[in-house]
Chains A and B, each alone.
Chain A
Amino acid sequence: MDFTISAEQGELRRRILEFAREHLHDRAASPVPDTTFPRDHWRHCASLGILGLPFPEVYGGGGRDALTTVMALEALGQGCADNGLIFAIGAQMWSVQMPILRFGSEEQKHRYLPALCCGDLVGAHAMSEAQSGSDAFSISTSARRIGQGYRLNGTKVFVSQAPVADVFVVFARTGSDPGPMALSAFLVDRSTPGLVVGPPTPKLGLRTSPMASLTFDDCVIPESSRLNLEGRGAQIFRDSIEWERSCILAGAVGAMDRLLNDATKYARERHQFGRAIAAFGAIAHRLIDMKIHLEQARLALYRAAWEKEHGSDGTTLGAIAKLVVSEAYRRCAILAMEIRGGYGYTTDDVEREVRDALGSTIYSGTSDIQRLVIGRSLGLKLT
């Protein structure tokens, strides 16, 4: 296991960092915050190859390995303070593009992946329901066989990018028994009759990554829209959530780096009692703790990405990365706010960083759920 950044990886990171600082102006931090989905920035990131980083070149990707990809996304998060944009990019890569790549037919891969990689299409992942969150396999949205297709009925919630997405990965029940093969996954285009996207769901942070519910009302889809075999939904979900947990917080590690740099600069410039506040132990310790959180998070992220490429226990390492990075990210954001005192609490950029960070221990499985996953690897029968 070697996490030395190669010359090629270093060059990619430098290029992305410069691009992000120069082109991804953070409109959400403007005096009048613009919290709409930044489609121009999305396209710009896509044109630089960011959305396609780990995907084969034949499908419009960059053919990078998982470790190089998270290193690159980390640089994006470091250079761009629009955490919602970075989150949206990760959500599409890991929970839409990855299941299409790993479980889709050649026709589905050629139809969707190049368009998703180049920014022409936006994709979203629809699993959670009002009564089915962590208990993901208890979903009630149904896909009933009709002739050469299926009829979808049900409602999905917390669908990130739903207000702007063109295609959805939808999980639905195709079997009547409660067993693990009762779910199937489908690729559903936004224009399909019977698919209704709800109004944007208000939320605490990541506001440039809009979220909505989806309702399927006798929504008829062809058999060719099914991803892989009937009954493979749970396996597809498990596989994609593992990628998501391993990699989606890459941008957050970059954000922590940015928060630490900003906080250090502020603490050196801000004077109280005749000296820079960085000279006070209470402030210095906060900066030191931020540095520790950052390095621990970075290591957990790289370790999980390495495991996806070379190891056999991506489930556990992914859960550990998700838990370690998200908890570190929250603490870092709050420490950055505390260092700024009153200026951190008022609505400047740090206040928004805190709101953006708070969601990280909740989405893709809460820290409690990650502990359950890690416990399973120890043979602990936890419920």
Chain B
Amino acid sequence: MSDSAIVEAARQFILDRFLPGEAAGALTPTTPLISTGILDSLSVLELVTFLENRYSIEFAAHEVDRAHLDTLVAIESTVRQKGGRG
């Protein structure tokens, strides 16, 4: 099964912005992003801005955390809960 468009868009953004030169396969849908340090607090902010602009959604302050953003799967689920369409 191929990854959803949301997973793919988030993966591409993270690869381009924070892991230049890394193979796309290095980032699976369940690779932890925040707990492994791939995303630090600054990159999380950039990711949130990217998702908000791309999917016309808004994050509340308490939603910007590991529970909502630690993996590509979690990111997709959060975006969908907020009405974002891939």
Least CB separation from B37: chain A residue: A381
- Binding stretch for chain B, among A11-19, A228-236, A272-280, A286-294: A228-236
Do A180 and B42 form a contact, CB below 8 Å, given A229-B58, A379-B19?
yes
Q: Mark B50-82, 1 if CB is under 8 A from A, else 0.
A: 000000001111101100000000000000000
Pairs A–B under 8 Å by Cβ, sample size 20: A175-B61, A179-B41, A179-B64, A179-B65, A180-B42, A180-B64, A181-B61, A181-B62, A181-B64, A182-B61, A229-B58, A229-B60, A231-B62, A234-B41, A234-B45, A235-B45, A235-B48, A376-B18, A376-B43, A378-B20
Contact with B61, one of A231, A378, A379 (Cβ below 8 angstroms): A231
Complex CA–CA separation, A42 to B14 (angstroms) = 43
CB distance from A127 to the nearest CB of B (A): 15
CA distance A231 to B17 in the complex (A): 23
**Is B21 among interface residues, defined by CB-CB distance under 8 A?**
yes
Question: Does A377 sit at the interface, judged by CB under 8 A?
Answer: yes
Contact with B along A169-183 (1 / 0, CB 8 A): 000001100011110
| A235 (CB) vs chain B CBs: closest residue | B45
Which size class do B's interface residues fall under?
A: 20 to 34
* Interface membership of B44, Cβ < 8 A: yes
- Asked if A238 CB lies within 8 Å of chain B CBs, one says yes
A137 at the interface (CB under 8 A from B): yes
A181 to B44, CA, bound (A): 10
CB distance from A342 to the nearest CB of B (A): 48
A379's contact among B21, B37, B42, B59, by CB below 8 Å, is which? B21
The answer to whether B35 has its CB under 8 Å from any CB of chain A is no
- CB neighbors of A among B19-49 (8 A): 19-22, 37, 41-46, 48-49
Residues of A contacting B42 in the complex (Cβ-Cβ under 8 angstroms): 180, 234, 238, 376
Main secondary structure of the interface of B (DSSP, over half): helix
Bound-complex Cα distance A376 to B43 (A): 10
| Contact call B41/A137, Cβ cutoff below 8 A | yes
Residues from chain B with Cβ under 8 Å of A230 in the complex: 61
B residues in contact with A180, CB < 8 Å: 41-42, 44-45, 64
What residue of chain A has the Cβ atom nearest to residue B15's Cβ? A379
A residues in contact with B49, CB < 8 Å: 235
- Residue ID in chain A nearest B52 by CB atoms: A235
> Which residues of A have CB within 8 Å of B60?
229, 231
Q: Which residues of A contact B37 (CB under 8 A)?
A: 381
Which residue of chain A lies nearest to B66 when distances are taken between CB atoms in the complex? A179
* Residues of the B chain whose Cβ atoms lie less than 8 Å from the Cβ of A381: 37
Known pairs A181-B59, A231-B61, A376-B43 / 17 extra A-B pairs, C-beta < 8 Å: A174-B61, A179-B64, A180-B42, A180-B44, A181-B64, A182-B61, A229-B58, A229-B61, A231-B60, A231-B64, A232-B61, A235-B48, A238-B45, A377-B20, A378-B20, A379-B18, A379-B19
Residues on B with C-beta less than 8 A from A379 are 18-22
Residues of chain B contacted by A231 (CB below 8 angstroms) = 60-62, 64
Q: Looking across the interface, which residue of chain A has its beta carbon closest to that of B21?
A: A379
CA distance A230 to B62 in the complex (A): 10
Q: How far is the CB of A377 from chain B (nearest CB, A)?
A: 7
Residues of B within 8 A of A174 (CB): 61
Residue among B19, B22, B46, B61 with max Cβ neighbours from chain A (10 Å)? B61
Shortest beta-carbon distance from B52 to chain A in Å: 9
Question: What chain B residues lie within 8 Å of A137 (beta carbons)?
Answer: 41
Give the residues in chain B near A376, CB-CB below 8 Å. 18, 42-43
**Which residues, 343 to 383 on A, are CB-close (under 8 Å) to B?**
376-379, 381
> Contact mask A201-241 → B, CB, 8 Å, 1/0?
00000000000000000000000000001111011001000
Chain A positions within 8 Å of B17 at CB level: 377
